A and B are shown apart, each in its own frame.
Chain A
Amino acid sequence: MVPRPHTVRRVWQETHDTFTLELAPAAGDGAAPSSFAPGQFNMLYAFGVGEAAISISGDPARPERLVHTIRAVGATTKALARLRRGDTVGIRGPFGSQWPLGEAAGRDIVIIAGGIGLAPLRPVVYHVLQNRQNYGNVVLLYGARSPGDLLYAKELEQWRGRFDLEVQVAVDRAPATWRGTVGVVTNFIPRARFDPSEAVAMICGPEIMMRFAVQGIEELEMKSESIYISMERNMKCAVGFCGHCQFGPAFICKDGPVFSYESVRALLNIRGI
């Protein structure tokens, strides 16, 4: 499966090291934009440098605007960070499993995100807000290292202004000018407005944060089969051939990245799996 050339329509900086690319199929590629489900990812190819697995962070109802939020941490993501409007990027995908929006219908949803973990969850927020009547209480708990590391700050403010969505934001450390919460995102769990016996949890962030988030949720006696997490591993092929993304018996690329906590709980607690 070869990358399809896409043209960069817009680039904008989200934080000091994180940026968002909006892409569209390159002219002459007659094929329609691929639709995607919230939680899925694409492989983004920077010409001559390499490929990286990046979750799709745009609106699933508008697949023609293919949006990826990327943190520049390695050779490929730094090459992607140098792209400007009109440049070309290769895309393979979309790959992987999706957040359980069908299962969540009629139930409360608690979304817990850490750092760039908000990117694969933003399509969930878009979908839920567009289909608000289909869901119960919806809670978004978001944590980042510092106020400057918060993704989508403007959208977070808009969402926080709504009466049908509870948004809580915490940062690990902050300058004196920060008037928000300092602490770990999991502190919000006991006070958030959702019914643990009915809710579905969707969690994405660093593994340590996900472990504590699950712990916090399980303390409310939420059923572990209603908890979903999104995992990350090294990935080369995205179709289950290269072996890099193995997580016990699972291939993150095709069995994940979204897993029910129930299916991976035993593995999550083993170091170096």
Chain B
Amino acid sequence: MTEIALTVGTHSVLERASLDKLFAALSKRGFRLVGPTVRDGAIVYDELKSAADLPVGWTDEQKGGTYRLKSRNDGAVFGYTAGPHSWKKFLHPPAVRLWQADRADGAFEIKEEKPDAQKTAFIGVRSCDLHAIAVQDKVFLNGRYLDPYYQARRENSFIAAINCSQAGGTCFCVSMGTGPKAASGFDLALTEIREQERHYFVAEVGTELGAEILAELPHREVEGHEKAAADETVAKTAQAMGRQMDTTNIKELLYQNYEHPRWDQVAGRCLTCANCTMVCPTCFCTTVEDVTDLKGEHAERWQKWDSCFTRDFSYIHGGSIRATPKTRYRQWMTHKLATWIDQFGTSGCVGCGRCITWCPVGIDITEEVRAIREAPQSPKGSPTGDKHGNT
């Protein structure tokens, strides 16, 4: 092995056999290891003990409303695409206790939950999901208020990205400008290369911490043909996207089409099951649950994932604001692709395709955008053009 100076942006070669050593190096530094593994017929993200837990030799087949795990015979470690989980499961967990309170003599005291300082290494983060993490960073860290729990989780995270070597049937990251190559937001980014006799990773250093970790592993400087193989891998993926979305002026398009008949059409299919919001890596909405013990002296507040597809979500005294599937689907899609841009300066969609795959009736967000774009309402009839707009 030749010693090279590892700096941000440099590429090295890591043999397949060294993957275990990456896990060991991260463990040694106190990181909990989280990554892909096969469970319940899907590739999910969970705590891993070693590289042996990775989905070696597995891939998936995805279409609208369909996900199938399939074995592959080439021993690929990361030869699959985004599954039902996203990293928000760990960075923005589904259920979090915010505080506890105890009551005595009519008064109560509140004990705030401390931010979690557990160091976690996320292994196998796709470019779409790196962008999703960056989107949630904007939600929880860049506004007027800051979420200290999210901040602690982010500050204690190590990210080993994986550049996609194949595109899924519902992927459209190229349309969203979010992949398939990891551009930033990682400590290390790996591209998996399988050649006839060899199986290795081209590793790009993203941060000094990434360089330190890589320096502890057997590695060597990348050769021209190896770097070319890595580039070709992502280039091929980019050309094989399962879906496309035209995002030209998409904010204006949706703002002008709040009353488009397509919303009624999609509402006829939407079950308002909330699957799309649960699998979406950027959907951040939560509710709170206040609970007590049986004596009523100890109370807790829990924050839990919520979905704009429930009727309860918009309930105020007298009824729900979004009482119909039409208004709820419209809220979700318009938020994702339009109002998100005004709120956070970025689209809320990263093109991972999860909402398409996991929709039980296969509603396809790219198809919904296309339908509205092909027959937009005239701006004259749009809400902005109608002063008192009776609807």
Give A contacts to B, CB under 8 Å.
1-3, 5, 7, 26, 45, 47-51, 71, 73-74, 86-88, 90, 211, 215, 218, 232-234, 236-237, 239-244, 246, 248-249, 251, 254, 265-267, 269-273
Contact of A254 with B317 in the complex, beta carbons under 8 Å: no
Give, as a whole number of angstroms, the nearest-CB distance from A265 to chain B. 8
Q: Among A26, A211, A215, A249, which residue has its beta carbon within 8 angstroms of that of B342?
A: A249
**Assuming the A-B contacts A47-B299, A90-B110, are A272 and B98 also in contact, with contact meaning beta carbons closer than 8 angstroms in the complex?**
no
Contact of A272 with B317 in the complex, beta carbons under 8 Å: no
Contact of A269 with B390 in the complex, beta carbons under 8 Å: yes
Q: Among A51, A86, A234, A267, which residue has its beta carbon within 8 angstroms of that of B290?
A: A51
Give, as a whole number of angstroms, the nearest-CB distance from A248 to chain B. 6
Contact of A5 with B313 in the complex, beta carbons under 8 Å: no
* C-alpha spacing A74/B318, complex, angstroms: 10
* C-alpha spacing A242/B306, complex, angstroms: 8
Contact of B143 with A240 in the complex, beta carbons under 8 Å: yes
Give B contacts to A, CB under 8 Å.
98-99, 101, 103, 106-110, 112, 139-140, 143-145, 147, 255, 258-259, 284-288, 290-292, 296, 299, 303, 306, 308, 313-318, 321-324, 326-327, 330-331, 335, 338-339, 342-343, 383-384, 386-391
Give, as a whole number of angstroms, the nearest-CB distance from B334 to chain A. 8
**Assuming the A-B contacts A248-B339, A270-B383, A272-B321, are A233 and B314 also in contact, with contact meaning beta carbons closer than 8 angstroms in the complex?**
yes
**Assuming the A-B contacts A2-B110, A232-B316, A234-B316, are A272 and B286 also in contact, with contact meaning beta carbons closer than 8 angstroms in the complex?**
no
Q: Which of chain A's residues have a CB closer than 8 A to the CB of B285? A: 242-244
**Assuming the A-B contacts A2-B98, A243-B285, are A47 and B323 also in contact, with contact meaning beta carbons closer than 8 angstroms in the complex?**
no
8 more A-B residue pairs beyond the given contacts A2-B112, A51-B288, A243-B284, with a C-beta to C-beta distance below 8 A: A236-B287, A241-B284, A243-B286, A244-B285, A267-B383, A269-B388, A271-B391, A272-B323
Contact of B101 with A242 in the complex, beta carbons under 8 Å: no
**Can you give 28 A-B contacts (C-beta < 8 A)?**
A2-B99, A5-B107, A5-B109, A5-B110, A48-B103, A48-B292, A51-B290, A215-B388, A232-B316, A234-B315, A236-B286, A236-B306, A239-B144, A241-B145, A242-B285, A242-B288, A244-B285, A249-B339, A249-B343, A251-B343, A266-B384, A269-B390, A269-B391, A270-B383, A270-B391, A272-B324, A272-B327, A273-B258
Q: Which of chain A's residues have a CB closer than 8 A to the CB of B286? A: 236-237, 241-243
* C-alpha spacing A237/B296, complex, angstroms: 23
Q: Which of chain B's residues have a CB closer than 8 A to the CB of A265? A: 387
Q: Which of chain A's residues have a CB closer than 8 A to the CB of B342? A: 249
Contact of A87 with B106 in the complex, beta carbons under 8 Å: yes
* C-alpha spacing A45/B318, complex, angstroms: 21
Q: A26, A51, A251, A266: which has the most chain B beta carbons within 10 Å?
A: A266
Give, as a whole number of angstroms, the nearest-CB distance from A255 to chain B. 9
Q: Which of chain B's residues have a CB closer than 8 A to the CB of A3? A: 110
